[in-house]
Amino acid sequence: MKEVDCRGLACPGPVVACSRLVKEEAPSALAVLVDNAAAVENVSRFLRTSGYAVASERREESLWRIRASRDGGSASDAAPQSQPAPSAPRGKTLVLITTETLGRGDDTLGARLMDNFLATLPELGDALWRIVLLNGGVRLAARPGKALDSLKALEAAGVSILVCGTCLDFYQLLEKRAVGQTTNMLDVVSSLALADKVIRP
């Protein structure tokens, strides 16, 4: 049985780790250690949709062990197994980001969610073509932190990043841009027209 230790990983780290293992090795049975209830739910759901029977047990105050198996392995939960969802056709995916936080409500939580969103984008693989930053989203390209680190890693991996010059100028960030290329609205509109799919978080 393959064991994956995901303790200490923030969302979506545990799911990403399991996804990579399933894609690369497709083990018939695995055990995953996590240290928060949200990770138990997220990992269990991912494994079920990947065709595993799943069971979890709490070992300590903040330690859970998730067991998953295919073909009648050791997992005891009777949830119906489902086949992995078919892959979507690969094309040019553009991500349009217009704010520095994700969702509405608490800005601290929103910033954390945006960090997680950007850290998860590499899972799109070759389909991720371009990221366009507009309005408050341009701050992500100019402010040190996890979001900027993720954008730099994506750019290094070949993802095109366009940062609105008018927006940078408005926020007085033209000289602080640390990733991507300064762009204009014609490039933005052209990019949207060329994209096969647009994701707007």
- Please report the pLDDT score of residue 72 as a whole number: 55
- In the chain, how many domains are there? 2
Does residue 38 belong to any structural domain of this protein? Answer: yes
Residue 109 maps to which CATH number? 3.40.1260.10
Residue 39 CA to residue 125 CA, distance in Å, equals 23
Residue 42 maps to which CATH number? 3.30.110.40
Q: Does one domain contain both 109 and 165?
A: yes
- Please report the pLDDT score of residue 108 as a whole number: 96
Phi and psi at residue 30, in whole multiples of 5°? -150, 160
Q: Does one domain contain both 48 and 137?
A: no
Q: Does one domain contain both 150 and 193?
A: yes
Per residue in 83-100, pLDDT (tens digit) is: 333 344 458 999 999 999
Q: How far is CA 47 from the centre of its chain?
A: 17
Phi and psi at residue 115, in whole multiples of 5°? -55, -45
| 82 band by pLDDT with thresholds 50, 70 and 90 | very low
Q: What is the domain range of residue 30?
A: 2-69
Tell me what the pLDDT averaged over the chain comes to: 88
Q: Does one domain contain both 194 and 97?
A: yes
Three-state DSSP at 107 gives helix
Please report how many Cα atoms fall inside a 13 Å half-sphere around the Cα of residue 140, on the Cβ side.
Answer: 35
Type of residue found at 139 = R
Q: Does one domain contain both 64 and 100?
A: no
Give me the torsion for CA of 173, 175, 179, 180, rounded to 10°. 90
Per residue in 22-76, pLDDT (tens digit) is: 999 999 999 999 998 878 888 998 899 899 999 999 988 889 999 999 975 545 4
Catalogue the E-assigned strands of the chain: 2-5, 29-34, 53-60, 63-69, 93-97, 128-133, 160-164, 181-183, 197-199
Does residue 78 belong to any structural domain of this protein? Answer: no
Does residue 51 belong to any structural domain of this protein? Answer: yes
- Please report the pLDDT score of residue 76 as a whole number: 47
Asked if pLDDT for residue 81 goes beyond 60, the answer is: no
Q: Does one domain contain both 159 and 109?
A: yes
Does residue 75 belong to any structural domain of this protein? Answer: no
Residue 146 CA to residue 98 CA, distance in Å, equals 17
Residue 21 CA to residue 24 CA, distance in Å, equals 5
Q: Does one domain contain both 101 and 64?
A: no
Residues 147-172, mean pLDDT to the nearest whole number? 95
Does residue 82 belong to any structural domain of this protein? Answer: no
Residue 103 CA to residue 143 CA, distance in Å, equals 19
Residue 141 CA to residue 149 CA, distance in Å, equals 9
∠ CA 155-186-164, rounded to 5°: 50
- Please report the pLDDT score of residue 27 as a whole number: 93
Residues 175-199, mean pLDDT to the nearest whole number? 92
Q: Does one domain contain both 141 and 98?
A: yes
Q: Does one domain contain both 43 and 11?
A: yes
Q: How far is CA 52 from the centre of its chain?
A: 22
Q: Which of 69, 101, 127 is the last residue of a domain?
A: 69
Q: Does one domain contain both 39 and 98?
A: no
Residues 111-115, mean pLDDT to the nearest whole number? 96
Q: Does one domain contain both 107 and 188?
A: yes
Q: Are strands 128-133 and 160-164 parallel, antiparallel or unpaired?
A: parallel
